[in-house]
């Protein structure tokens, strides 16, 4: 189990390498596909942050993804530019999550009921948004559009210059920067007392309460932050797809992100990111064929991962790497001790 000694540490070498790869990727890879993979990675990381470190499992994290997308689409239609809508796409889901979270956590509901409530919230949003086809359902100039959603809203523009839209490679860099910044923000949160208390809550909520911490406040806090990040991912997705539909709140979307996080590995930030990118890529490739159902394959992958590597890929690799390093260090120490005693390294073999 991960303690909090290392969770806030950014391994800058890896971080710079990853940033360099992301910066150079457009030279060798289709940015349209890469962009959506980064968006899904951000979405999965937002869930991994609160699930893996605070132990809060939301079955309906897609609610905040969808709210971010809708908040952006509605406000950008009304404002005709993207800067304030981008901020609203983070704030609206965050505030919504703060209200839902406060009700759940101060209401002291158990983990199981939290799962049920979060799932029900996203399904209610799905049902509601699907039923907004009439002309009466409009916010300002934006018609909600029912099952067909909202198409044709202004996409990202250069802040302060609504006439300069970002197309092609620039949105890819916006997504890459968003992911990297949210990663750093998450690490910063985890390195502070707030993050350490969250890990304490994951380990033993009752004890944290008896240490004097307001557990409900901490849980509401991380739920809100996580929802804000999911909202940002939703906003970027809306820009990528250039349409928002109730499908963003659907059960499939809610389930997919859970599979990405489980497969990548709980208790890490990089696990959900890699899980989302790898399985997202599988999903895109499977989408190009009709031989086998997409969901069936993802379900099979989930079963295999849960049975074969229940910790997820990244924690399993980290564990194996740590064991290998410890074994090497142990051998080196033993060899050094033998040398000090005057023997040769091979004598004891």
Partner 1 sequence: MSGVVETHELTMRFGGVVAVDRVDFTLRERELRCLIGPNGAGKSTFFKCLTGQLRLGHANGRVLIRGSDVTGWRSNQIVRLGVGVKTQVPSVMNGLSVEENLWLAARRVHGWEGSPGAVDETVAELQLEDIARRPVGELAHGRRQMVEIGIVLVQRPWLVLLDEPAAGMTGDEVERLIEVIHRINQTAAVIVVDHDMEFVRLLGAHVTVFHQGAILVEGSAVRVLNDPRVREVYLGNRAA
Nearest C-alpha neighbor of 229 from the set 268, 195, 180, 278:
180
CB of 8 to partner 1, least distance (A): 13
Phi, psi for 162 (deg, rounded to 5): -60, -25
Q: What's the distance, Cα to Cα, between the start and end of the chain in Å?
A: 34
Taking CB under 8 A as the criterion, which residues in 215-254 touch partner 1?
215
Q: Round the CA-based radius of gyration of the chain to a whole number and report it.
A: 23
Residue 38 in the binding site for partner 1 (CB under 8 A):
no
Stretch that binds partner 1, among 39-47, 58-66, 191-199, 326-334 (CB under 8 A): 191-199
Asked if 193 interacts with partner 1 (CB under 8 A), we say yes
Q: Which residues pair with 138 in a beta bridge?
A: 143
Of 95, 55, 101, residue with least CA distance to 208? 55
Nearer CB in complex with partner 1: 211/320: 211
Minimum CB distance to partner 1, residue 197 (Å): 7
DSSP calls for 183-240: HHHHHHHHHSHHHHHHHHHHH-HHHHHHTT--HHHHHHHHHHHHHHHHHHHHHHHHHH
141 belongs to the binding site for partner 1 (CB under 8 A): no
Count of residues that interact with partner 1, criterion CB under 8 A = 23
Please check whether residue 42 is in contact with residue 184, taking contact to mean a CB–CB distance below 8 angstroms. no
Q: Is 2 in the site for partner 1 (CB under 8 A)?
A: yes
CB of 50 to partner 1, least distance (A): 17
- Asked if 110 interacts with partner 1 (CB under 8 A), we say no
Residue 198 in contact with partner 1, rule: CB under 8 A: no
Q: By CB under 8 A, what part of segment 202-221 binds partner 1?
A: 202-204, 206-215
Alpha-carbon span 151 to 133, nearest angstrom = 13
Question: Which chain residues interact with partner 1 by CB under 8 A?
Answer: 1-5, 193, 196-197, 199-200, 202-204, 206-215
């Amino acid at each position: 189990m991960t303690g909090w000694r290392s969770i806030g540490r950014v391994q800058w070498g890896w971080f710079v390498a990853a940033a360099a790869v992301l910066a150079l990727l457009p030279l060798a890879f289709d940015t349209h596909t890469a962009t959506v993979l980064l968006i899904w990675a951000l979405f999965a990381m937002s869930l991994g942050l609160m699930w893996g470190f605070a132990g809060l499992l939301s079955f309906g994290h897609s609610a905040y993804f969808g709210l971010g997308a809708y908040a952006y689409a509605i406000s950008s239609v009304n404002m005709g530019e993207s800067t304030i809508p981008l901020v609203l796409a983070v704030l609206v889901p965050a505030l919504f999550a703060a209200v839902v979270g406060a009700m759940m956590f101060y209401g002291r509901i158990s983990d199981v009921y939290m799962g049920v409530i979060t799932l029900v919230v996203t399904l209610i949003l799905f049902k509601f948004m699907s039923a907004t086809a009439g002309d009466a359902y409009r916010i300002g100039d934006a018609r909600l559009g029912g099952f067909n959603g909202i198409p044709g809203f202004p996409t990202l523009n250069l802040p302060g210059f609504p006439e300069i839209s970002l197309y092609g490679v620039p949105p890819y860099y916006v997504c890459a920067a968003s992911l990297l910044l949210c990663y750093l923000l998450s690490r910063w949160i985890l390195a502070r007392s707030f993050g350490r208390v969250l890990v304490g809550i994951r380990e033993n909520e009752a004890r944290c309460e008896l240490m004097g911490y307001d557990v409900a406040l901490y849980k509401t806090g991380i739920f809100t932050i996580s929802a804000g990040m999911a909202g940002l991912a939703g906003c970027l997705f809306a820009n990528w797809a250039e349409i928002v539909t109730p499908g963003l709140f659907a059960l499939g979307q809610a389930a997919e992100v859970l599979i990405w996080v489980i497969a990548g590995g709980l208790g890490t930030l990089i696990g959900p990111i890699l899980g989302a990118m790898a399985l997202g890529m599988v999903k895109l490739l499977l989408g190009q064929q009709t031989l086998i159902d997409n969901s069936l394959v993802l379900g099979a992958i989930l079963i295999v991962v849960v049975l074969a590597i229940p910790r997820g890929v990244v924690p399993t690799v980290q564990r194996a790497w740590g064991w290998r390093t410890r074994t090497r260090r142990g051998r080196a120490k033993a060899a050094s001790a033998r040398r000090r005693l005057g023997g040769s390294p091979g004598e004891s073999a």
